[in-house]
């Protein structure tokens, strides 16, 4: 079975990390309720890499910002589309979007859907 993954790179001001974490926990609960297989939100800790384009350069990261690398896993792209439609219609998600100021900069978020070509779990 080939799983499908939505992947995200999100810039979050360090001062707003707690608010972002709270929002992410609520979002996690909603996605999992509707059938996502896995939901992860990970905050930058070691970005001092020697190869490729560093995340700092990719996101134009400022000294007071962090990067959240996140993904949601589904059984298939079709399942992802069904789940995301339900999630976006859920009043808990709608209220997060309507609260006004987000704890991240959505204009600097990167997002996409990915077909899994290699997978392993211990």
What would the mean pLDDT of 82-93 be, rounded to a whole number?
95
CB-based contact 7:112 (threshold 8 Å): yes
Which 3 state secondary structure label does DSSP give 64?
coil
CB-based contact 11:122 (threshold 8 Å): no
Burial degree of 52 (CB within 10 A; 0-12, 13-18, 19+): exposed
Percent of the chain whose pLDDT exceeds 70:
97
- Residue 48 pLDDT exceeds 80: yes
pLDDT digits (tens, 9 = 90+) for 26-37: 999 999 999 999
Q: So what's the pLDDT on residue 44?
A: 95
Q: Give CATH for domain 4-47+54-115.
A: 3.30.70.100
Q: So what's the pLDDT on residue 6?
A: 98
What residues does each domain of the chain span?
4-47+54-115
Centre a 10 Å sphere on the Cβ of residue 30 and count the other Cβ atoms it contains: 19
| CA 41 – CA 33 distance, rounded (Å) | 17
């Amino acid at each position: 079975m080939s799983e499908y993954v939505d992947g995200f790179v999100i810039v979050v001001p360090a001062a707003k990390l707690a608010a972002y974490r709270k929002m992410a926990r609520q979002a996690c609960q909603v996605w999992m309720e509707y059938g996502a297989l896995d939901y992860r939100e990970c905050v930058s800790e070691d970005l001092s890499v020697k190869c490729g384009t560093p995340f700092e350069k990719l996101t134009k990261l400022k000294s007071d910002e962090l990067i959240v690398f996140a993904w949601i896993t589904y059984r298939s792209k079709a399942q992802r589309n069904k789940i995301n439609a339900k999630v976006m219609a859920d009043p808990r998600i709608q209220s997060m979007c309507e609260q006004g100021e987000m704890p991240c900069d959505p204009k600097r978020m990167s997002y996409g859907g990915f077909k899994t070509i290699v997978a392993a779990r211990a």
